[in-house]
Structure 1
Amino acid sequence: MDAKKMTNNYLEALRCMEKARDILKNKAREEDGLYQSKRYVREACALAYLAALLAAEAYLVGKGRPIPKRRDKRGNIHDYKHELAGVDEEMLTYLDAAWGSLHCGGYHEGVVVAKMIQAGMECADFLINAIRPATEEARVATV
C-alpha cells in the first residue's frame, strides 16, 4: 500500500471516530455512566468498529498480509483475526476487544454502559494510531 492510500485510510478512520464521538456526546448523551439512547449508541459503535476495521486492514496490507478476497462472500472478523495472529498479537488483542465491546456489545446487543463503549473506542484508537503515517497531512489531522 502506498503512502497516499495509507494516509487516506488513516484520515477516513479518524473521520469515523470523530463522528462516533460526536454522536455519543451530542445524541446518546451520557448520564450517570449510561448512555440515554440505544439507537445512537448503536450508530456510534458501528462507526467506531468500521474505523477499527479500516485501520486493521491498512495495517495488514502494510505488513504484506492483505485480507483475502472471497467470492460471493463478505470478509469477516475471522479473516482479520487469522491474518493478525500471524503478524502482531498486540494488534489482534486490540481488534478482538474492539469487536467485543463495539460490534457485539454496543451495536448488536445495545449495551449502553459508557465505560464499556469507551474501552472499545480506546481500542479502536490504538489500532488507528498504529497506521498513523509520518506525513505532514496526517500530523495536521491529529491536532
Structure 2
Amino acid sequence: MDQIQEAKRYLENAREILSEKAGKEDGLYQDVKYVKMAGHTAYAGVLVALDELLGKKTKGRKDVEWYKQQLGKLDKKLLHSFVGAYDTLHLSMSYDGNPVAGVAAGGLEQAEKIINWVEQRKAAA
C-alpha cells in the first residue's frame, strides 16, 4: 500500500475512534482512553507520511528533534504545523488524554495538512 494512503488510513482510524468510542458530550470526550488512542494513531499517521518523504535516518532512532531539523530545512510553515501536531496529538492527547473536542479537531486538522503537503510534494517530484 502507498505510504500516503496508509497515513490517511491512520488519520481516518483516529477519527473513527473518537466518533465511535470516545463519547463526545458538550464538547468533551467522555472516555480518555480513546482520546489517547486516537492521538497516538493520528500522530503515527503523520510520521508514516513524513517517513515517506524524509527517508531513513543514518544513525540511531528518529526522534521529534530529527523531524524538526529535517522539516526546518524544507519548509518553515510545515515545521510549525508539525510542532503543533506533535504537541496536540502526541503530548496533549496521547499522554495527557485532553478531553476537549476542539483540541482533538485542531490536532487532526494539522495532521491532515501535513499528510496532504507530503502528498503534493511527492507528486511534484
- Of the three residues 58, 64, 68, the one matched with 1:81 is 68
Gaps of 5+ in 2: none
Is the aligned partner of 1:22 residue 2:20?
Answer: no
Unaligned runs of 5+ in 1: 1-6, 61-65, 135-143
RMSD value, Cα: 1.5
CA distance in 2, matches of 1:50, 1:70: 21
Question: Residue type of the partner of 1:76?
Answer: D
Matches within 5 A, 1:107-126: 107-126=94-113
Match of 1:4 in 2: none
1:8-65 deviation per Cα after TM superposition (whole angstroms, max 9, x unaligned): 11011011011111000000021111001110010010000011112222233xxxxx
Match of 2:46 in 1: 52
User: Residue 70 of structure 1 corresponds to which residue in structure 2?
Assistant: 59
CA distance in 2, matches of 1:33, 1:109: 17
**Residue 36 of structure 1: aligned partner:** 30
Q: Deviations over 1:59-87 (max 9, x none)?
A: 33xxxxx452334xx21110000111111
- TM-score if structure 2 supplies the norm length? 0.90
SS of equivalent to 1:86? helix
- Structure 1 or 2, whichever has the larger Rg, is 1
Structure 2: distance between partners of 1:96 and 1:30 = 26
Q: Does 1:103 align with 2:90?
A: yes
What is the deviation of 1:131?
A: 2.4
TM-score, normalised to structure 1, is 0.79
* Aligned counterparts of 2:17 and 2:3: Cα–Cα separation in 1: 21
